[in-house]
A and B are shown apart, each in its own frame.
Chain A
Amino acid sequence: MTMQPASTEIASRTAAIVQDLKDLEGPLLPILHGIQEEFGHVPQAALPVIADGLNLSRAEVHGVVTFYHDFRARPAGRHVLKLCQAEACQSMGSDAVAARVKQLLGIDFHETTGDGSVTLEPVYCLGLCACSPSAMLDGEVIGRLDDDKINEIVAEVRS
C-alpha cells in the first residue's frame, strides 16, 4: 500500500497549489485537478485549506468535489483502466468486454484489486466511437478491443 502523507503535509502542499492557482478566474476546478495530480486523490485534509484560500465554506468545496466523477476520495490502484460503456461501444460488444475484464481481474467497476495494482472504471465515451469498443489505460487510448488486447492489458496491469 502507498503511504498516506500526514495531514500537515497535505495542508502545506495543498496551500502551495492554492496559492499558485487562486488568481485564475474560477480557480476551484484547476485547483482540484492540481491536488488530485499531486496526491492521486483529493484528501479530506485538503478541503479546509482550499476553503480558506478561496474564501468559501467547507461545505461548498465538499459539494463541488463530490459532484464530479473524476475526483477520488481515496487513491486509485497503480493503474487505472477505464472501459467505455457508452452506446457506440455497446453496439460493438462493450458489455462482453467489461464482463471479461471483470472476470480476469476479479473486481467490479469502481473497485481496486486486492494487491492495489489496478482500479477499474466505466467511462461514458472516449471519443473513439469509430474504433469501438475502446478503453483508456493510464491515459493511453486503446481501440477495437478484442480478446488479445484484453489479455495484453490484463497482463500489463498485473505485472
Chain B
Amino acid sequence: MTPRIYIPGDSGALALGAEKVAKAIANELAERGIEAKIVRNGSRGAYFLEPMVEVATANGRVAYGPVKPSDVKSLFDSGFLTGGHHKRWLGAPDKIPFLAKQTRLTFARCGINDPLSLDAYKSLGGLKGLQNAVAMAPADIVKQVTESGLRGRGGAGFPTGIKWKTVLDTTSERKYIVCNADEGDSATFADRMIMEGDPFVLIEGMAIAGIATGATKGFVYVRSEYPHAVATMNRAVEIARKAGVLGVNVLGSPNAFDMEIRVGAGAYVCGEETSLLNSLEGKRGVVRAKPPLPAIQGLFGKPTVINNVISLASVPIIMDKGAAFYKDFGMGRSRGTIPIQIAGNVKQGGLFETAFGLTLGEIVDDIGGGTSTGRPVKAVQVGGPLGAYFPRALFDTPFDYEEFAKRDGLIGHAGVTVFDDTADMLKQARFAMEFCAIESCGKCTPCRIGSTRGVETIDRLAAGIEPEKNLALVTDLCNTMKFGSLCALGGFTPYPVMSSITHFPEDFKPAPTRVAAE
C-alpha cells in the first residue's frame, strides 16, 4: 500500500508554515525514492499543534506536531511513515486530549480528509441528511429543524426552524437562501474552518434549507479576508454541481437548488444580516430597518432565509440522525453543540466543539491551559468585538445563551479571547468605540456619532480630566447606543465598554504617574 501523508491546507496551518513542511516532505520523499501520497486535509482545529502532519498506518492514523520543516529529515529517519516514535509524535489524533474531549457533530469530518473529495465526504456520512430531506415534505423538514432546538449560531441565537417556517409560509415565485459567512468577529474562525475543511457540509445544509422553504437559489457571502475559503467553496460548488448535489434535480429529486459564492469587500457591518443583503444586491452595506423581516422581504425583496455558516452546517446531522439526537446535547434552551473558538493569549488555542454548558473557567483554564505568556488571566472577551469582557470572578458562568445574557454578556459566535494581566481595559474599551466608529455604516446617529464621542470621552478619562463626570457621560452614551441603535454594531458596542468599566474599575481611575508628570 502506498503510504498516505496528511498535511493541512487550512489557512491557520498555512500561517504556521504548513506549506514549507509540505515542500520539505515532498523533497524528502523524492530524495529517498519513496512513493507516498500527500493529501492536503483541513485542520482539526488544535492550532497549538499545527502544522499537524498525520500518516495512515496499519493501526490507523498517527499524528505529529507541531512539525517544522527542520523536523522533516528526522521524522523520516524515525520511520514516521509507519508511526515511528519522534519528539513530535502525538499518537492517534482522536486520542489527543484537546480533540478527544470534544463532541464533534458539526465538525465531525472537518480536518480528516481532502475537503474537496466528495467520496471522502460520503464515506463519513455526508449527504445522508440531504437524502432524507429530498424524500420529505418541506413542512416536515422545518418541523425537524425546529424540534432540534437549533438556534442561530451567528450570534443572535434565533431559532432556525422558526425563521425557516416564516419563509416556507410566505408565498413567492422566488426565494433565497443566504449564508452569512462574513465572519468578522475577532476570535472566531469556525466558519472559515468549515469552508476550508468541510465545504460540502455547508452546501448540503443550504440545499436542505432550500428544499425546506421552497428556495431555489443560494448565496454564500464570504468576507474578502478569507481568500482560501473563497477558493475552496468555489471549487466545492463546481464539484457538487457536477455530481448532481446541486442543480435542477438535487440528488435526482424534482427539487432544484443552485448556489453562488460572493465575496465581501472589507466592511465589518456587512456581517449584520440586512447590511449583507444590501451588499449582495450591489448597494452600500447600510443596515435596513426591521420590519419587514428578511424572511418576508429579504434579498431583492423576496423571502430569504439568512443563516450563519455553522447554523446551516449543523442541519445535515439533524436531518441524518434526527431532532432528538441533536437536542439531547446541551442545557436549558441552548440545545446541541457549539464550536467554541479559544483564541488570543492562550496556551492551547483552537476550535473546541462541545455541548452547551461548560463553564468559562473550564474553557479557559482546563481546555485552553491558561495564557500563552504564562501570566495570570485578567479578562476574557466572549463573543467578539461586541462581546463583554469577563473577569475571573465570573468564570463560573456556563456557556449558554441565557446564562451569559444574565451576566450582561453574550456568547455571540462563540469566540473567546484571553488577555493576561498586562491588558489595559481602558484601552480595550476605547478600541471598542474606535472600531465602531471605523465600521459604522452611518445610518443611525447613536452608532455613527456616539462611537466617535465615546472615543473622545474615554480619551478625556485617560487624561484624568473630570473623571467622574466623564465616566457618567460614557455610561449614559452607552445607554443611548444600546437602546437607540438600529443594529448590533452600535447596540452591542456598549458590552465591551461597560463590562470593562464595571469589572475593571481600577483601569479607569486617573493614572497617578500621568497626573504627576504633567
Q: Which of A6-14, A97-105, A121-129 contacts B (4 or more CB under 8 A)?
A: A121-129
Q: Is A76 an interface residue (CB 8 A)?
A: no
**Is there an interface contact between B267 and A130, defined as CB atoms closer than 8 Å?**
no
User: Per-residue CB proximity of B37-71 to A under 8 Å, as 1/0?
Assistant: 00000000001101000000000000000000000
**Is there an interface contact between A64 and B11, defined as CB atoms closer than 8 Å?**
no
Q: Is B106 an interface residue (CB 8 A)?
A: no
Q: Is A143 an interface residue (CB 8 A)?
A: yes
**Is there an interface contact between A90 and B282, defined as CB atoms closer than 8 Å?**
no
In the assembled complex, which residues on chain B have CB atoms less than 8 Å from the CB atom of A69? 265-267
Which single member of B217, B227, B262, B428 contacts A87 (CB below 8 Å)?
B428
The CB with the most chain A CB atoms within 10 A, among B50, B217, B262, B265, is that of: B265
Complex: A150 Cα to B441 Cα, angstroms? 34
In the assembled complex, which residues on chain B have CB atoms less than 8 Å from the CB atom of A68? 264-267, 285
**Is there an interface contact between B268 and A124, defined as CB atoms closer than 8 Å?**
yes
**Is there an interface contact between A127 and B16, defined as CB atoms closer than 8 Å?**
no
User: Per-residue CB proximity of B391-430 to A under 8 Å, as 1/0?
Assistant: 0000000000000000000000001011110010000100
In the assembled complex, which residues on chain A have CB atoms less than 8 Å from the CB atom of B265? 29, 32-33, 68-71
Q: Is B187 an interface residue (CB 8 A)?
A: yes
- Assess A124 versus B435: contact at CB under 8 Å? Given A86-B186, A130-B342: yes
With an 8 Å Cβ cutoff, the count of chain A residues facing the other chain is 42
Q: Is A5 an interface residue (CB 8 A)?
A: no
The CB with the most chain A CB atoms within 10 A, among B264, B344, B345, B420, is that of: B344
Q: Is A148 an interface residue (CB 8 A)?
A: no
- Assess A130 versus B341: contact at CB under 8 Å? Given A26-B281, A143-B15: yes
In the assembled complex, which residues on chain B have CB atoms less than 8 Å from the CB atom of A29? 262-265, 279-280, 282
**Is there an interface contact between A67 and B267, defined as CB atoms closer than 8 Å?**
yes
Chain A's closest residue to B441 (CB) is A67
Cβ of A64 to closest chain B Cβ, rounded Å: 6
Q: Is A75 an interface residue (CB 8 A)?
A: no
Complex: A136 Cα to B226 Cα, angstroms? 10
Q: Is B163 an interface residue (CB 8 A)?
A: no
**Is there an interface contact between A88 and B279, defined as CB atoms closer than 8 Å?**
no
**Is there an interface contact between A91 and B420, defined as CB atoms closer than 8 Å?**
yes
User: Per-residue CB proximity of A21-36 to B under 8 Å, as 1/0?
Assistant: 0001111111011000
Cβ of B444 to closest chain A Cβ, rounded Å: 16
**Is there an interface contact between A87 and B267, defined as CB atoms closer than 8 Å?**
no
**Is there an interface contact between A144 and B282, defined as CB atoms closer than 8 Å?**
no
**Is there an interface contact between B431 and A139, defined as CB atoms closer than 8 Å?**
no
User: Per-residue CB proximity of B335-357 to A under 8 Å, as 1/0?
Assistant: 00000011111100111000000
Q: Is B451 an interface residue (CB 8 A)?
A: no
**Is there an interface contact between A26 and B417, defined as CB atoms closer than 8 Å?**
no
- Assess A131 versus B349: contact at CB under 8 Å? Given A26-B281, A64-B284: yes
For window 56-77 of A, CB contacts with B under 8 Å fall at: 63-64, 67-71
User: Per-residue CB proximity of B459-500 to A under 8 Å, as 1/0?
Assistant: 000000000000000000000000000000000000000000
Complex: A124 Cα to B252 Cα, angstroms? 43
**Is there an interface contact between A129 and B263, defined as CB atoms closer than 8 Å?**
no
**Is there an interface contact between A143 and B16, defined as CB atoms closer than 8 Å?**
yes
Q: Is B224 an interface residue (CB 8 A)?
A: yes
**Is there an interface contact between A131 and B15, defined as CB atoms closer than 8 Å?**
yes
Complex: A100 Cα to B438 Cα, angstroms? 23
Chain B interface residue bracket vs A = 35 or more
Cβ of B434 to closest chain A Cβ, rounded Å: 10
Chain B's closest residue to A84 (CB) is B186
Which single member of B47, B266, B267, B385 contacts A86 (CB below 8 Å)?
B385
In the assembled complex, which residues on chain A have CB atoms less than 8 Å from the CB atom of B11? 126-128, 141
User: Per-residue CB proximity of B183-197 to A under 8 Å, as 1/0?
Assistant: 111111101100000
In the assembled complex, which residues on chain A have CB atoms less than 8 Å from the CB atom of B232? none
**Is there an interface contact between B225 and A127, defined as CB atoms closer than 8 Å?**
yes
The CB with the most chain B CB atoms within 10 A, among A33, A128, A130, is that of: A130
- Assess A130 versus B47: contact at CB under 8 Å? Given A64-B283, A90-B431, A91-B417: yes
The CB with the most chain B CB atoms within 10 A, among A28, A69, A71, is that of: A69
Complex: A54 Cα to B11 Cα, angstroms? 36
- Assess A87 versus B187: contact at CB under 8 Å? Given A129-B341, A129-B417: yes
For window 343-380 of B, CB contacts with A under 8 Å fall at: 343-346, 349-351, 372
Q: Is A134 an interface residue (CB 8 A)?
A: yes
Cβ of A136 to closest chain B Cβ, rounded Å: 8
Which single member of A64, A86, A92, A127 contacts B282 (CB below 8 Å)?
A64
Q: Is B381 an interface residue (CB 8 A)?
A: yes
Q: Is A142 an interface residue (CB 8 A)?
A: yes
In the assembled complex, which residues on chain A have CB atoms less than 8 Å from the CB atom of B300? 25-26
Q: Is B118 an interface residue (CB 8 A)?
A: no
In the assembled complex, which residues on chain B have CB atoms less than 8 Å from the CB atom of A132? 343-345
Q: Is A89 an interface residue (CB 8 A)?
A: yes
Q: Is B316 an interface residue (CB 8 A)?
A: no
The CB with the most chain B CB atoms within 10 A, among A24, A68, A87, is that of: A87
Q: Is B92 an interface residue (CB 8 A)?
A: no
**Is there an interface contact between A130 and B349, defined as CB atoms closer than 8 Å?**
yes
Q: Is B449 an interface residue (CB 8 A)?
A: no
Q: Give 13 A-B contacts (CB < 8 Å), ordered by A residue.
A: A24-B260, A29-B280, A64-B284, A88-B186, A91-B345, A126-B11, A127-B183, A128-B12, A129-B189, A129-B343, A129-B417, A130-B346, A131-B12
Give A residues with C-beta under 8 Å from B: 24-30, 32-33, 54, 63-64, 67-71, 86-92, 123-132, 134, 136, 139-144
Give B residues with C-beta under 8 Å from A: 11-12, 14-16, 47-48, 50, 183-189, 191-192, 217, 224-228, 260, 262-268, 279-286, 299-300, 341-346, 349-351, 372, 381, 384-385, 415, 417-420, 423, 428, 431, 435, 438-439, 441
User: When A and B form their complex, which 4 residue pairs have the shortest distance between CB atoms, in order from nearest?
Assistant: A28-B282, A130-B349, A143-B15, A129-B343
Knowing that A26-B299, A128-B189 touch, tell me 17 more A-B residue pairs with CB under 8 angstroms.
Answer: A25-B217, A25-B300, A29-B263, A29-B280, A68-B264, A70-B224, A89-B186, A90-B431, A91-B419, A91-B423, A92-B372, A127-B192, A129-B188, A134-B15, A136-B225, A141-B12, A142-B15
